[in-house]
């Protein structure tokens, strides 16, 4: 039985080296990576996991040439689902992702400055959450909008002042009670 080239599927395991220096290692079908593999980009960033058509799907790992990394879910080559990342500046995040951005519940720790815990939308803290500044010991718990205290909340300053009430774009605003 003979088949023409249009119906013949070419599958192999191996390595492909691109002219820009990128390297793909794994299982290939019709010139694209399928199954477990590793992709080292020209800038030496590395992706590892299950590939479908050269894109990561499911559990995978990214290691950046700057020391950053991500371990978690991928869909169509982007961070999607649950994961954990560590940035080159020492910041960390663990929680939900959508289209490579923080989405849903998560915790973000920015080295030496603050901790956010709450709901993220489009990469920014939006909705209910908590914020803690390490240096000033200031704490806030309540509603956020675009990464700022906005709506009802409670804050405590380093000096012990407590405020419970309304906030607008990161500032006390409207009705509230201040305890000194």
Please provide the DSSP assignment of the chain as one string: ----TTTPPPEEEEEEE-TTS-EEEEEEETTEEEEEEEEE-TTS-EEEEEEETTEEEEEEEEE-TTS-EEEEEEETTEEEEEEEEE-TTS-EEEEEEETTEEEEEEEEEETTTEEEEEEEETTEEEEEEEEEETTT--EEEEEEETTEEEEEEEEE-TT--EEEEEEETTEEEEEEEEE-
pLDDT band at 11 (very low <50, low <70, confident <90, very high): confident
Q: Which of 81, 98, 113 is the last residue of a domain?
A: 81
pLDDT band at 70 (very low <50, low <70, confident <90, very high): very high
**pTM metric for this prediction:** 0.85
- Supply the pLDDT for residue 9: 61
In this structure, is residue 2 part of a structural domain? no
Residue of 130, 173, 136, 177 lying closest to 158 (CA atoms): 136
Residue of 103, 124, 127, 107 lying closest to 116 (CA atoms): 107
Using CB atoms within 10 A of its CB, is residue 63 exposed (0-12), middle (13-18) or buried (19+)? middle
pLDDT band at 98 (very low <50, low <70, confident <90, very high): very high
Strand-pair category, 114-121 with 124-133: antiparallel
In this structure, is residue 156 part of a structural domain? yes
Q: Which of 53, 81, 109 is the last residue of a domain?
A: 81
- Locate tokens 């490579």: which residue? 100
- Locate tokens 């815990």: which residue? 117
Residue 94 lies in domain? 89-180
**What's the domain count of the chain?**
2
Q: Which of 28, 46, 81 is the last residue of a domain?
A: 81
Give yes or no for residue 5 having a pLDDT over 70. Answer: no
């Amino acid at each position: 039985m003979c088949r023409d080239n249009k119906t013949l599927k070419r599958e192999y395991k191996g390595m492909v080296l691109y002219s820009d220096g990128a390297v793909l290692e794994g299982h290939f079908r019709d010139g694209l990576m399928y199954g477990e593999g590793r992709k080292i980009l020209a800038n030496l960033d590395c992706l590892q996991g299950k590939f479908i058509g050269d894109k990561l799907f499911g559990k995978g790992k990214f290691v950046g040439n700057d020391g950053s990394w991500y371990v978690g879910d991928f869909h169509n080559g982007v961070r999607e689902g649950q994961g954990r990342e560590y940035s080159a500046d020492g910041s960390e995040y663990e929680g939900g992702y959508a289209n490579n951005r923080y989405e849903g519940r998560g915790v973000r720790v920015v080295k030496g400055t603050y901790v956010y815990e709450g709901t993220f939308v489009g990469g920014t803290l939006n909705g209910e959450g908590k914020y803690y500044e390490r240096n000033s010991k200031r704490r806030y718990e309540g509603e956020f909008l675009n990464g700022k205290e906005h709506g009802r909340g409670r804050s405590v300053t380093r000096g012990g002042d407590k405020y419970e009430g309304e906030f607008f774009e990161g500032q006390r605003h409207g009705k509230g009670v201040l305890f000194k």
